[in-house]
Amino acid sequence: MPPSYIISLQDIDNNEYMIGAVCDLHQNAIKARIQALQASSGIPQGKIIFDPVIMLGTNCLKIPEEEYDNFR
C-alpha cells in the first residue's frame, strides 16, 4: 500500500521532526511502536502527529532538447 500519512514528532519545545511515512494498514502498529520507543527513551517524548498525504497528479513535462542541459 502507498503511504497515507507522514509521521512527525512534536517535542516539548514545539519543534517538529518528520520521522517516517505509513499506510493506513500499519498506522496503529507504528503508533504503538513509537510509543514503546518513547517509553524506553529510545526516542524523545512528544506528540505523535499523523498528517494525511495529499496525492498530486501532474502532466508529463517535456523539455526541449536544447534546454535539457539547464535541468541537469
pLDDT category of residue 67 using cuts at 50, 70 and 90: confident
Average pLDDT along the chain: 89
First-to-last alpha carbon distance for the chain, in angstroms, is: 32
Q: Which amino acid is at 17?
A: Y
Q: Which residues, 6 or more positions from 16, have their beta carbon under 8 angstroms from its beta carbon? A: 8, 9, 10, 49
- Region 5-26: what's the mean pLDDT? 95
Which residues form the domain of 24? Answer: 5-71
User: What is the domain count for the chain?
Assistant: 1
User: What gap in Å lies between CA 22 and CA 15, rounded to an integer?
Assistant: 21
pLDDT category of residue 70 using cuts at 50, 70 and 90: low
pLDDT of residue 64: 76
pLDDT category of residue 10 using cuts at 50, 70 and 90: very high
The more confident residue out of 59 and 39 is 39
Provide the grid cell at 28: 496503529
